[in-house]
Amino acid sequence: MRKQVDIVPGRGFTTLRGATYLEWPVGPLLREHLACVWVARSGASGAPHVDRVIPDGCMDLLFTGGRLVIAGPDTKAVELGPQAGGLIVGARFRPGIAPAVLGVPARHLLDARVPADDVVGDRARALAETLRGIRSPAEAAAVLGHRIGAWTLASVPPSRVVAGAIALLSGPATLRDPSVSTLASALGVGERRLRRSCVDALGYGPKMFERIWRLRRFVAAAAASPGRTSLAALALDAGYADQPHLTRECRALTGLTPATLRGYPVTAA
């Protein structure tokens, strides 16, 4: 089990009155499918690790409150309320991967949290039963990742068109703010096929993914240089036209200002 999911000290932070969040990397057999496995625990007063989850282009399989839940792709921030004794164990799929493993188009799960057994049936029920008997969060995360690894063996290959679009939109800044036609041409496909493939795999079209990933670039850059680099410079580096563009997008996607997002946790995706 642990040869497949590396449970070693990874990315972590503590916020909001003792709440914690930890990520562990996955082993090479799962690296193509999962960004990480993770655990979030509420603080003593029930405070969550962050006040809201911001869009990241990913889908997660969560074990919380004794049940498995699929967190679909988000187009806006999801606020987290207090949860006494709250513990969530999760596995985060890389962008565009979850639908191929779970067997459901991402468009059906857009901005949704749904019981996993409604989507994957007996596989989810069996996994939830196993997880209910595990007391260690780290071990639960390992089991969750290991079981998803078994599911990937029976999954269909992810869309090469979507993989190409993600690579162009999330890689180095060589293709910033392309039109759909430009992106489709670069991938050698038609615009309709590109949009349809992205909606099925990501939940939305390529331009929405670009907006979300541009936000991730800003959050990562702002976290790396808190207070030392102007918001205007960070906006340009992330791919925004100017600081007002950054402000509009931050408010639209997260409900927060760019200044509030300085130092916001950078999660694996």
Tens digits of residue pLDDT in 103-114 = 999 999 999 999
C-beta atoms surrounding 161 within 10 Å: 20
Beta carbons within 8 Å of 129's beta carbon, 6+ residues apart: none
Q: What local confidence, expressed as pLDDT, does residue 243 receive?
A: 97
Q: What local confidence, expressed as pLDDT, does residue 100 receive?
A: 95
Q: What is the mean pLDDT of each run of 10 residues along the chain (269 residues)?
A: 43 64 90 94 82 95 96 95 84 97 97 97 96 92 94 92 95 72 96 98 97 95 84 94 97 96 89
Q: What local confidence, expressed as pLDDT, does residue 20 receive?
A: 87
Q: What local confidence, expressed as pLDDT, does residue 2 receive?
A: 36
What is the Cα–Cα distance from 114 to 117, expressed in whole angstroms?
9
What is the Cα–Cα distance from 44 to 171, expressed in whole angstroms?
40
What is the Cα–Cα distance from 224 to 95, expressed in whole angstroms?
23
SS3 state at 33: coil
Tens digits of residue pLDDT in 46-79 = 887 888 999 999 999 999 999 999 999 999 999 9
Q: What local confidence, expressed as pLDDT, does residue 211 receive?
A: 96
Q: What local confidence, expressed as pLDDT, does residue 5 receive?
A: 47
Residue with tokens 């799929």: 93
